[in-house]
Structure 1
Amino acid sequence: MDVLSDVVAELRIGAPHSSRTERRAPWDDRFPPTAAVGFHLVLRGGCRLTAAGQPPLRLGAGDVVLLPRGAAHSIGDHTVGAPTVLLCGAYRFDRSRRHPLLTELPEVLHLAAGPRRPAALDTALDLLTRELDTDPDSGAVGPLLEILLLFMLRAWYDGRDRDTGWGAALRDPDLGTALRAIHRDPAHPWTVQSLGDRAHMSRSSFAQRFTETLGVAPQTYLTRWRMTVAARRLRDTDDTLRVIAESVGYTSEYAFAKAFKREFGVAPGRYRHTATAAAPGYLATGSTAE
């Protein structure tokens, strides 16, 4: 598993949900703000998406839009013609766990159909479209939506040319090696020196480059990732605190609990008690106003 898919797997809650709809002009579906990550896939036809503070987007067949922070928006069309067929829905993420994936993405992530789009994303969209045309209630739709999310995120990160940020670190051959080491084995007693060795850099050079690129020091990122993994296990498993603590590199339950509370503001036991796999829902079809 690569770092991106690893992060998505740890932060995701439950399965995605979606709704296939057909609209004839004039139509206007409005979506309130939500904690979920919304998406729209235009299967046929075209429409316009308008989100607060963002320029309107004209969407055509094959276009896909992701709204990482669940921004309020509307989607509709007033041009009389062939109907528009959409797949709209949401992915749920645990936003109590801090990670650049949840903060670095734009309000509206638009991946337009065309030759510049990655072939892997087009393949995923084609498979999903064929499955929906064959059987909208197929059990394969959910797994295909999971794959679609990963390919959308990869397409966006691969298309970036910034020198800073989590995505830039992923693309950096040296920093990427260190990130993979952290994600592959969070329980390992990593130090700045050992991570620098993995990146084939001196301790000081590695620490400076890591901090300048990601905006946090290596040990800070390591601790946050360990707490992210621990939070998911507290929510999704019955493992004891000792087992969870050891799985993320703590030999002392007390030290683990202290680090966890510093990150989340509550003790691990309290977090487990209040955490739930359910998140605020996402209105998949919106409210139509003609």
Structure 2
Amino acid sequence: MLAGLELKSTLFHVGEYCGVYQASTGGHQRASFHVVLDGGCYLHVGADGGREASTTELSAGDAVFLLSDVPHALTPSATPPADLSVRLGKMTPLPPAPHEPIRSASRSSVALACGFFEFRTDLDMLVLGLLPNPIIARHASGRLDGMTQVFALIQAEARRPGDTPSPLLARLTDLLFYYALREAVHAEDVAPGMWRLMRRDAFGRLAAAIIESPGERWTTDSMADFVHMSRARFCKQFAEVGGQPPAHFVTLVRMKTAAALLRAGVSLPEAAEQVGYQSESAFAQAFKRVIGIQPGAWRRQAASAGAQPAATAVATYPVH
């Protein structure tokens, strides 16, 4: 299911900021990315839809994937700016250079490759609702084999001479995202137990079906029938593999899907119906239990931020 995500990246700009700056891809109503090619900076993400504001230090080789139009800014200071929508500083072209060592400790300047990406299908958007947002892939680690090589190619392509960025940069960024996504799955930062369920053929097909059609009447009996098991055997094996009862997993998927629908502007009654709830009060109780905020408040916060579907956590992954 995750391997089937159809991603397309487009490059926005490549260049360097020096001195005082405040950069962002926010406000375009699109998912976006930042790859730190050289130097370092701080990523400030605003509070949004139940998620607390955060500040994360970034160094050369780190990559940030914002799965929605999240209010954010990149600055040289660890102090969050008062207004994330402000833009300061001018990006200058990178020198066509060379093989200087990475200045990962420097915060006086930063070289960035920034752009947008999109997913092709509605199922992709439902899967994204189960992921942390943003995803931050770390260069300084041994957990993501191969990503160092991808970053080296990105760095080389970014410094190729010419008036327009290399088209290979967007494709290499696609690869970078899949590395980070794979680690998010392995680290269980997707819906709890998802990776273990997806590795079991029968349970993987069931999980994919629930995510694709959360509004279906997913009872314990219907799920047991789906995987051709007795009710008792199904409940026992699902809990052993997924770490939770099947009904809890269904509720989690439904509420994550509802959160994405509400953030996209769907009304509360319609969102409740699309994820299988006839009672708005029962839906509101389940939503608050899973997401941590009332659905109406979630929708209002999303509307004020102008955001698209997203999850509520920040995940960082070291890279080798």
Same fold (TM over 0.5): yes
Alpha-carbon separation, structure 1, partners of 2:216 and 2:252: 14
Query: 1:109-258 residue pairs with structure 2 within 5 A?
Result: 110-113=143-146, 130=157, 133=160, 145=173, 148-154=176-182, 165-237=193-265, 239-258=266-285
Per-residue deviation at 1:90? 11
> What's the TM-score once normalised by structure 2's chain length?
0.51
Partner Cα distance (2:65, 2:59) in 1:
9
**SS of aligned partner of 1:111:** coil
Counterpart for residue 34 of structure 2: 18
Aligned residues: 220
**1:83 corresponds to:** 100
Aligned partners of 1:188 and 1:249 also within 8 Å: yes
| Cα offset, 1:170, TM superposition | 1.0
Q: Residues 143 and 232 of structure 1: is their aligned pair in 2 closer, same or farther, counting only changes over 3 Å?
A: farther
TM-score by length of 1: 0.55
**Identity across the alignment (%):** 26
Paired AA for residue 18 in structure 1:
H
Structure number having the greater helix percentage: 1
Using the TM superposition, give the Cα deviation of residue 18 of structure 1 relative to its aligned residue in structure 2, in angstroms.
1.4
In structure 2, give the amino acid aligned to 1:240.
S
Counterpart Cα distance in 2 of 1:36 and 1:150: 24
CA-CA distance at 1:226 after TM superposition: 0.6
Q: Is the 8 A contact 1:127 1:144 kept in 2?
A: yes
What secondary structure sits across from 2:31 in the alignment? strand
- What is the alpha-carbon distance in structure 2 between the residues aligned to residue 244 and residue 265 of structure 1? 17
Q: Which whole-Å CA distance do the structure 2 matches of 1:38 and 1:113 have between them?
A: 23
Pairwise CA distance, 1:89: 7.8
Instruction: Give the Cα separation in 1 of the matches to 2:170 and 2:55.
Output: 16
TM superposition shift of 1:131: 7.1
Answer whether contact 1:169 1:214 (CA < 8 A) is retained. Answer: yes
Please tell me whether residue 267 in structure 1 is matched to residue 294 in structure 2: yes
Structure 1: any 5+ residue segments left out of the alignment? 24-28, 43-63, 69-80, 92-96, 283-290
Alignment correspondent of 1:74:
none
Structure-2 separation of matches of 1:157 and 1:262: 23
Distance change >3 Å, CA 244–CA 30, structure 1 → 2: closer
Distance of 1:146 and 1:38 partners within structure 2: 23
Deviates more, 1:127-136 or 1:268-277: 127-136
Instruction: Please tell me whether the aligned partners of residues 260 and 268 of structure 1 are also in contact (alpha carbons under 8 angstroms).
Output: yes
Q: Distance in 2 between matches of 1:109 and 1:90?
A: 26
Query: Which residues of structure 2 form unaligned runs of 5+?
Result: 8-28, 46-53, 67-97, 103-110, 117-127, 315-320
Counterparts in 2 of 1:112 and 1:152: CA distance versus 1, 3 Å: same
